[in-house]
């Protein structure tokens, strides 16, 4: 194969390659994670490029054949027009569903029932 052709093709590829968008490299500016070890959890994060997410999960019908984790949360991002987009969702025994009502607020604390305070503190990293 002609080396001039190969070198020319290489430089053309390099010159026309897409530049890396500033959104592809982002720092985590806030992070929270809480898990009680029995299926209940909460987490949130926010990045330097405006993406954020919060989610909580709560075990429902614990110990029964129809046990599941009820999940509620949201995520946000900035669309190409510069508008912030927020998507609220739930997931349960009926699957994932996008919801539009604000009553899907994510609790920032996990209800931990029946555990002594010392055990709860240990489970949560305290």
Q: What is the pLDDT of residue 52?
A: 96
Quickly state the pLDDT bin for 76 (edges 50, 70, 90).
Answer: very high
pLDDT digits (tens, 9 = 90+) for 80-113: 888 999 999 999 999 999 997 555 455 555 454 4
- For the four alpha carbons of 48, 84, 95 and 124, in that order, the dihedral sign comes to positive
pLDDT at 100: 78
**Statement: residue 115 has pLDDT above 50:** no
pTM higher than 0.75: no
């Amino acid at each position: 194969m002609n080396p001039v052709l190969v070198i020319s093709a290489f430089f053309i590829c390099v010159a026309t390659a897409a530049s890396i968008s500033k959104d592809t490299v982002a720092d985590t500016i806030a992070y929270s994670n809480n898990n009680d070890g029995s299926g209940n959890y909460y987490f949130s994060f926010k990045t330097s490029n405006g993406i954020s997410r919060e989610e909580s999960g709560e075990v429902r019908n614990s110990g029964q054949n129809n046990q599941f984790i009820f999940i509620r949360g949201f995520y946000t991002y900035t669309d190409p027009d510069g508008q912030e987009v927020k998507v609220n969702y739930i997931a349960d025994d009926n699957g994932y569903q996008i919801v539009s009502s604000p009553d899907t607020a994510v609790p920032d604390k996990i209800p931990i029932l029946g555990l002594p305070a010392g055990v709860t503190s240990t489970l949560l990293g305290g």
